Structure 1
Amino acid sequence: MAAQEEAANEDRCPPQNNESEESELEIDNEGVVSPDDDDESQQMGEDHVELTEEMIDQANEKKIQAIAALVAGELQNSIDLFTEAIKLNPLTAILYAKRASVYVMLQRPNAAIRDCNRAIAINPDSAQPYKWRGKAHRLLGHWEEAARDLAMACKLDYDEDASAMLKEVQPRAQKIAEHRRKYERKQAEREISEKKERLKKAQEKRERLQKEEESRPRSDFPGFPSGLGGMAGMPGVSEILSDPEVLAAMQDPEVMSAFQDVAQNPANISKYQGNPKVMNLISKLSSKFGANA
């Protein structure tokens, strides 16, 4: 039974993890019962029915009989009589609330909740459905729902019985709410921490890439490929750069790619013997450097 009581309240608490500050919430579940199954025999009456005075009178008679059976302790008989009253007059909220009260006594909270939901749909200003739905939620260990319904019942029509149960369930409801706030606060702090860590790693990656880029060999003069950076310090470079044909060739990606290839491996010049643009630039540079040697 203890395991069933814990299961009944499990879905009311936020998910737990291994951190000590989010340890499992301990709630006193004394009096909590196992949920009752759906009862197909729980008749709710017709939604749309034309009532006659005779039907209303018969429903009132059944209600009186149901209350008498309840006083006599004949709970199932009382349920049956309230059901007959509901079938005759399905548009009266108090009949569902009365039957719900008997379901609570029979510890069938889900059946009671269904009746109370119907009663509230018919008359949301009636206190009785909230009272008995609150008591049904208390049986299921739904402490927050129980507190809300019982508080609403007292607000609509103060009832000492509802007020007494509200005082019983409210501390547990508040404990659950505080636990949830604590969990949500920790979750928010964790998300902020994770976001900061992601930003930190992204910044470190950018800085690393920037350092790698800065450490790569670069031309000392704009326009020269990286493999030819040393040319900027050689004699005659200014004269070479003043040659319009050389400057034009340096703007040609094909020529500069080939020139870089040859600069890194002179033997590769054989690949470009048939390319006049490449050979012309190499010839000019060779003659210029030869003249300044």
Structure 2
Amino acid sequence: MTTADEYKAEGNKYFAAKEFQKAIDSFTKAIEASSEPNHVLYSNRSGSYASLKDWPQALKDAEKCVSLDPSWAKGYTRLAGAQFGFGNFEDAEKAYKKCLELDPSNAQAKKGLESVENAVKARNSNGDDMGLGAMFNDPNLITKLKNNPKTAELMKDPDLVAKVLQIQSNPKGNATQLLTDPRLMTIIATLMGIDMDFPSEDPSANANTSKETSKSTEPPKSEATESKSEDTSSQSTPSTTESKKDAPKPQEEQEDEDVEMQDAVPSDKDAADKAKAEGNTLYKQKKFDEAIAQYDKAWESHKDITYLNNRAAAEYEKGDYDAAIKTCEKAVEEGRDIRADYKLIAKSFARLGSIYLKKDDLENAVKYFDKSLTEHRTPDVLSKLRSTQREIKLREAKAYINPEKAEEARLEGKEYFTKQDWPNAVKAYGEMIKRAPDDARGYSNRAAALIKLLSFPDAVRDCDIAIEKDPDFIRAYIRKANAQLLMKEYTHCMETLQEAREKDQKLGGKSIHEIDQIYNKAAMQRFQAIDGETPEQTMERVSKDPEIVKILQDPVMQGILSQARENPQALQEHMKNPEVAKKINMLISAGVIRTR
């Protein structure tokens, strides 16, 4: 049975992937599976609801969290965030102040309180327009919002641009739109200087933090359960990561803050991306050592496993496969710790698969391609997996080849066939085929046993393979024709026999008599009367046979038949022509030509 902790970990994974509804479902299951109410789980779910702008549910869970543990400061930041989302600035202010009463050094609450106070001042100073008149009176506002990284993507929506213009023209009349469109809350927060994306703590804030202190406050990785609610959600309230300088807290509280502590690591994304771009340029120039150095620089500046994946690619192209393997393994491990996008982890696994494929370690290649598909399914990796699996089977088949063992299996099959033990004969001949896949006799012999078991289609397939392996193997043609005859596929049977006759004549005609016997049998069965059919009905049916109609409409055959009516002996001369003989025999079998 899945435990509450497992559901909680599952919720964290979904949150990291920004699949907030799934995260909510998992946290809900964790709450249901808990033996007693857990304030951390309600905090997590509140953050997930807030990411979906579902403020009523976010507020409800935040209130539940606070009621379960009124002494836990973090719960009040959840409460403040939900209130801010509603536009209840006074209630949000109270919640932040309560947090600071319990935890005076809480940087998140300090920043949030400052932002809320700014929002209240702006609203109060501008009457009912909530301060929009002052904020939206810039004639270049649209251009600035389009150029601002935080709002550029939003401003690609013409409907949103129209709303901004409406607020510009009538701030007071359109103020209520802020409460119906969360994107406008992001825009106004940007104009007020509020960071809506919950940024990590300023790197300088940790500059003086000792390593000893950092270690003492970092929770065990296995207990890291708080989703990235503060740095990845789009809640409409500011937040920063909490200081690592605080004294260790109870285990549950440490669990809830784990993600924030990870994000407090100093990082410089711009510098990292610049180093990555330089690395990419060097990579294209095949200066792999220099590219690797740049990717390392990027990783040291900002923990994004994309840089490790790139480094592994450079090591792969350089031919240093062992180093590339270690880098990919590190990318997976680090990616798990920082809850990286599952697609990036999938790329790490896929690259591991490609490296092992290059090393000709097919088993490990399959292992990591499969792991990659478990994280994220892509056609390219799926194709590589299936191709590698086929290669493994092919190699296994080749390794199994043994002519001596094949001969032993053939003799064993022959013995079973003589004893009329058809199933074991099929099994023995199957073993012969595996041991000697290029020996046409194995397929032909198995076809003979399959015919005895009335498995005619399988027998035909085996005969086709035998003919493909050895086009002059007449016995395979004969067995195929027998199977087709038993299936009453007369036309196909006769075509197979005609092909066999041509091959046999080139080889000396040793089997021509057997071939003709089967041919005549097929022709007779093809045109014989069906039970309950009168001779007239039989003749009418036969006359409509497509092959008979074709022969009778052939001008050459019409001339031969006309001549034969006047001079029956002339027909014998024409029979010396194999093609003519075939057609005349067909007409004789059908009863169109009657001999005395």
TM-score (norm 2): 0.20
Q: Which has the larger radius of gyration?
A: 1
| TM superposition score normalised by structure 1 | 0.39
Q: 1 or 2 for the larger relative contact order (CA 8 Å, sep ≥6)?
A: 1
